[in-house]
Structure 1
């Protein structure tokens, strides 16, 4: 099985003591229940509107502090989980995008946790969470056109051998490794801080893998807990 082995630099570990994450590598199977992702997303939006989970505010506040620790402004560029949650609280729902993307967004909403989904076949080398020196290339869109930009020096980034895969820890994903339900090898990273119960982190991972099993019977996955130690 094609498995990701992500690493966390010591510099990042010092910024967010107690950081831990679930790394989930997936070998996909044929998609037979594509509507399940949208169903999960609808249910998760309702949970957010009902004020769940109880520790959401504390966890998202902790992420804001982690962002401030490396110079980011969380009100302008919040962590991915907070950005999704704000959208649902404002609009009452989210538009379905892709079965797998809908599922991992549902996990993010229900558990107030940043969740990244990546096409592992697009990677060169393994994912690394590091402090940027400002020179790494990041592929994105601006005004509807593809461009290459660079992160700020001192910014926390996920990267591989070719460049940045996600800026400001989990704020914005690049184009090259973007995931869809048609990809064969997938990698998910569920990132938490101590304000989220460890048991809930494992529950979030199970929600993701159980959902993939419903959508893609026969899917294979490997789940690993990683931390800043």
Structure 2
């Protein structure tokens, strides 16, 4: 059995947070999505880039409310220098006129939801997890090779908040950077998808984003939604694989 466990050290920092969790099973490969599916996803992303403009009130990235909320959140734990929440990176592209484009179908789906709702959304390959997945403040030194870098080890820092399993870090600085070992690929079959919310007033948005993400994953990736849950301080763990 594999679980997703949010530990006390996380809730001590963010008692009012909400985390939407989806377990998607039997996803189509990128090839199986086909040309038409890819075209529809590209159109979905194009629309999501436009919808993201609703959340942008200033050309100065730090003055936009979703970014401000996450910068404040990042001040509560140790981070790698320059690390920013994933939604800041997406909104920055919109501000600069460099819309977020297609990558691979599973990533395109969650990027579209992230842009529309201005909430961080991410995904990992469940089949790559070693034991339980935990969201916790780490003691540091957890093995990690960042996605999109030169392949060098970049272990976690003491006091850093991150997703961990028994082999090391899965995503560093909460939602800053995925690792190579657990990243979704064109051939991933089973996915752990997550939507993170630190603003109590936006829990409703998180629920709506969770519902929409599940529907899109079913429609475009042909997956079965095995789990769809909102994790809170009162309901802290989810079984993700029996």
Please state which band the TM-score falls in when normalised by the shorter chain: 0.7 to 0.9
CA RMSD of aligned residues (A): 2.4
Residues 94 and 100, structure 2, Cα contact 8 Å, conserved in 1: yes
Partner of 2:6: 8
State the match for 1:126 in structure 2.
Answer: 132
Q: How many residues align?
A: 223
Partner SS for 1:145: coil
Asked whether 1:110 is paired with 2:108, we answer: no
User: Which deviates more, 92-101 or 104-113?
Assistant: 92-101
SS at match of 2:157: coil
Q: How do residues 31-180 of structure 1 correspond to structure 2 at under 5 angstroms? A: 31-32=32-33, 33-51=37-55, 57-72=64-79, 76-140=82-146, 145-180=150-185
Q: TM-score, normalised by structure 1?
A: 0.88
1:36 and 1:99 in contact (8 A); partners too: no
Question: Are the counterparts in 1 of residues 127 and 190 from structure 2 also a CA contact under 8 Å?
Answer: yes
Q: Deviations over 1:169-225 (max 9, x none)?
A: 000000011113421111101110134522211110122111112213463331011
Name the CA shift for 1:196/1:147 in 2 (closer, same or farther; >3 Å). Answer: farther
Residue by residue over 1:102-151, the C-alpha shift from the partner in whole angstroms, topping out at 9 and shown as x without a partner, is 11011111111111110100111121011111121011268x53121211
Whether contact under 8 Å (1:37, 1:100) holds in the other structure is no
Q: 1:203 to 1:110 in 2, by over 3 A?
A: same
Unpaired segments ≥5 residues, structure 1: none
- Aligned pairs for 1:13-32 (under 5 A) are 13-30=11-28, 31-32=32-33
Note closer, same or farther for the CA distance 1:197–1:104 as it changes in structure 2 (3 Å cut): same
**Counterpart secondary structure, 1:149:** coil
For 2:139 and 2:109, how far apart are their aligned partners in 1? Answer: 33
CA distance in 2 between counterparts of 1:138 and 1:227 reads 27
Give the C-alpha shift of residue 73 in structure 1: 7.4
Cα 1:14–1:183 shift into 2, 3 Å: same
Counterpart-to-counterpart distance in 2, 1:40 and 1:179: 20
